[in-house]
Chain A
């Protein structure tokens, strides 16, 4: 009798126990309804949100925030747009009050062209925020030493990029990501940014990453809801593959069908 196998591992991140390893963004969808449907079908239990300047109220409320609250999943506010530790810290403090969570996706951008994180300011901000009781989810490059510095200041979660934000290029440096995984077996590692296709997400999971965070790949797909379902499956498949243990690569071909008893055997000279 066959039985469908599913990843039996719930996982812990930021003090919560979750079953989905897909973290999803809430931006760039064709419509609020489409965003809601995509998030629901993705199965994601963490959604990223942000803060921006608000015009004086006309009494309309905040429909976006109402939808997010109705999803009943964890909210991860980001500090997108920050270019210094000071800006990121202030944004995180404001987000904690507005969203009622001590979680923060720490983003400090160091280059406007490729939106590469500023590692120096990110570490500085992480240190301050951890002392203030935040659970910091730092967005960083795939640099091992930066990851070490983030761990040194108390980060329990590290989120290296796959490639540039919104690029959809996938994992630029799988070897770097693997090095970080090997160095930090006990930290929660999430590939954040650059994912374009479900196969990229599966690849990140096969590397042993605990989760994948993405937004554009779903929101900018021709059919975001269907793509959200595809990413749900890809993350599950990648995780299950990691747990099953991937075979070792070999330098040469090796037949999978038994050679003993091969019919019509040809003897080559």
Chain B
């Protein structure tokens, strides 16, 4: 198991998950978000090849009001 930060909260994940598997493990069911790992954007096309590692910082962002 590894520890990562997801949207500022520490989460425990299995080792060697890719981004698609991580999203499933974290139970994100509603689509319409984008993912950054260690402040670098990960496009959907790269979800499967991007492996989450110990200590990674993950941001999952969705639409909100803005000015």
Contact = CB atoms under 8 A, between A and B. Distances in A.
A53 B66 contact: no
B contact residues, range: 20 to 34
A80 interface: yes
Interface in B9-58: 26-30, 32-36, 39-41, 43-44
Given A48-B67, A62-B62, A97 B43 contact: yes
A61 B8 CA distance: 22
Contacts of B33: 54, 98
* Interface SS majority for chain A: mixed
Contacts of A215: 67
A98 B67 contact: no
Interface string A80-94: 100000110011011
A65 interface: yes
A165 B67 CA distance: 9
Contact of A59 (B8, B29, B34, B35): B29
A75 to B, nearest CB: 9
Contact of B66 (A49, A54, A90): A49
Contact of A94 (B34, B65, B66): B34
Interface of A: 25-29, 35, 48-62, 64-65, 68, 77-78, 80, 86-87, 90-91, 93-95, 97-99, 165-166, 215-216
Interface of B: 7-8, 26-30, 32-36, 39-41, 43-44, 59-67
